[in-house]
Chain A
Amino acid sequence: MKQLKSFIKKEFFHIFRDPRTMLILFGIPVAQLLVFGTVIKSEIKDVHIAIYDQSKDETTLEITNKLLSSGYFILDKNLDNLDDIDAIFRKGKVREVIVFENNFGQTLGKEGIAKMQLIADASDPNIAKLAISYTTAIVNDYIRKLYPEMQLPMQITPEVRMYFNEEMKSAYMFVPGVMALILMLISAMMTSISITREKELGTMEILLVSPLRPVQIIVGKVLPYLLLSIANAFIIVLIGHFVFGVPVNGSFILLMLETILFILMALCLGILISTAAKNQMAAMFISMIGLMLPTILLSGFIFPIENMPVVLQYFSHIMPARYFITIVRTIMLKGTGILFIWKETAVLIAMTLFFIAVSVKKFKIRLE
């Protein structure tokens, strides 16, 4: 026990004395969270539009006002020629052009039908789609309020509710994802680097010659990072909550227990990487390419798993982050308990045990 204590103390000295390690441990998580939080958006804001209003009556002006006061759109230019549309798209700033037909308000009043055209710059399909659907929604809303008594034959009005995320905040999507990504990266990369560093410097031999048992060396290496990663998980949940407004609807304790499980899994993976990697560079490379990219792409963090090609869907099954993200979303957003995530939890436990078994075996082989 005393042996382990002095070993762990030394490990903390390594961490706290190396500015690079400190930066990776605490700088990257916060930076990543803030970057993802402001970059990934499924909602739009301040999209530049142009309007070609051939009618310029009360109705079109009111619709224009509604659009502009919504906060989603900024009017760049009022066009007065159809040919200008092409030119203004080519300039690139304007993403959507709204065209009202001649006598818009009059036709609407008389015939109950008026035409407007929405043209979007689909070189960025995401924004184009969002801009169109936001515009349509605002226009529909206006019409409905204008003629509340209007009854079209057989009209269906869907009442949409976005369950678990009423405002469709993208933060709800990325906070669990970033949490998985950061914990994976820090735990696996930092342990693998710190073990390979000892190999590289030759101090690992000294440790192996000493009465320390291999298990003690592994525990001593892993424990500091376990503690720091838990601290990190706290920070992520706090930032998610106070900066981006992501709730923790379920049990906080359950969330932390699942997080610790995930961290343990990642730490064991880190040990495994260190037994395969010859030096720090290799360890870092394997962690970065082998863990970070698949975690971002295949875990359902950004891209829905259901939409992937079948082969990649199979691949996503071996991504530990996939299960963790599901767990975190379930606990934080849906607020349900272990009954609904026991399968994912079981998978993570199985993965952890597997990595422990393989890395202890490999670690021992290296001794001989």
Chain B
Amino acid sequence: MEKETIISARNLIKKFGHFTANDNLTFEVKKGEIFGFLGANGAGKTTAIRILCGLSSPTSGEVKVAGFDIYHETEKIKKNIGYMSQKFSLYEDLTISENIKLYAGIYGIGRKQRKVKEAELLQKLELEKVKNKLIGDLPLGWKQKLAFSVAIFHDPKIVFLDEPTGGVDPVTRRKFWDLIYEAAHNGITVFVTTHYMDEAEYCDRVSIMNAGKIEALDTPAKLKEKYKATNMDEVFLKIAR
């Protein structure tokens, strides 16, 4: 069964002066997929994700996100996506509950609905007792999980995660991925950049970028077969070299 395409990029080019950060990217992401965007630092991952989120516009190319054109329909796109950046994206001087209220307000979620969802979220993350604590006082692992939950609080069609697990220990990372799976199971498309190769194995499909170009795009299993590697780490090293 062919699934609906939710992100499509054709010949996407982004130049900064003479430097080409994204060189002719063409890819499609299907609905409900966990799409991994891999590459070394400076390969152009963040540039691409910023374009897809509407933070930056491409130099040329055709890009559609959630069915909307990236040049003219950014406002509609913004309502349908969630975003979590490398930097921690919640306000440290606000409590957990206040942060949730803020995002609910920004995304126009009504009070009743917010209360139900907030209770659900706090229960799931076991944060009920500390909901009135400032975020700054929480351990990093909790913060990351919370940031992800807030990023999908408004039930977006797609959530963009830009190296969400940087600086987090392996156990917490594993738990974080449980949340990602759950979101994908609920029909949210996950677009994630990472440079942890073990995480690449968790993705449905991965694209590997090098120097602004997509060098490979397939399921982890097929990539391993094609490059005759036992794990994604080897695949990545073969391509990046």
Contacts and interface: CB of A to CB of B under 8 A. Distances in A.
Interface of A: 2-3, 5-7, 9-10, 13-14, 17-18, 201-203, 205-213, 367-368
A202 B53 contact: no
B89 A211 contact: no
A3 B89 contact: no
Nearest to A198: B91
Contacts of B120: none
A202 B75 contact: no
A2 B108 contact: yes
B197 to A, nearest CB: 25
B108 A3 contact: yes
A13 B98 contact: yes
8 contacts: A2-B105, A6-B102, A6-B104, A9-B105, A14-B93, A202-B85, A202-B89, A367-B56
B57 A368 contact: yes
B83 A206 contact: yes
Given A209-B78, A211-B106, 11 more contacts: A2-B105, A6-B104, A7-B102, A13-B93, A14-B91, A17-B93, A18-B93, A201-B92, A203-B87, A205-B85, A212-B106
Nearest to A16: B93
A217 to B, nearest CB: 10
Q: Which of B75, B78, B98, B105 has the most CB of A within 10 A?
A: B105
Nearest to A209: B83
Contact of A202 (B87, B94, B104, B108): B87
A367 B75 CA distance: 13
A206 B53 CA distance: 10
A367 B50 CA distance: 10
Contacts of A207: 106
Nearest to A201: B87
Contacts of B93: 13-14, 17-18
Contacts of B90: 203
Contacts of B91: 10, 13-14, 203
Interface string B70-107: 00000100110101011111111110001001111111
B160 to A, nearest CB: 8
Interface in B105-129: 105-108
B105 A206 contact: no
Q: Which of B56, B93, B98 has the most CB of A within 10 A?
A: B93
A10 to B, nearest CB: 5
Contacts of A201: 87-88, 92
B55 interface: yes
Interface residues of B, number: 29
B105 A202 contact: no
B187 interface: no
A209 B54 CA distance: 7
A7 B87 contact: no
A202 B104 CA distance: 19
Given A10-B94, A201-B87, A3 B78 contact: no
Given A201-B87, A202-B89, A10 B79 contact: no
A213 B106 CA distance: 10
B94 A6 contact: no
Contacts of A5: 105
Contact of B78 (A9, A202, A210): A210
A303 B93 CA distance: 43
Contacts of B55: 205, 208-209, 367
Contacts of A208: 54-55
Contacts of B75: 211, 213
A361 to B, nearest CB: 16
A212 B83 CA distance: 14
A7 B83 contact: no
A206 B88 CA distance: 10
A2 B104 CA distance: 10
A205 B83 contact: yes
Contacts of B92: 201
A220 B177 CA distance: 35
B57 to A, nearest CB: 5
B101 A6 contact: yes
Contacts of A203: 87, 89-91
B102 A10 contact: yes
A243 B3 CA distance: 75
Contacts of A18: 93
Contact of A211 (B57, B102, B107): B107
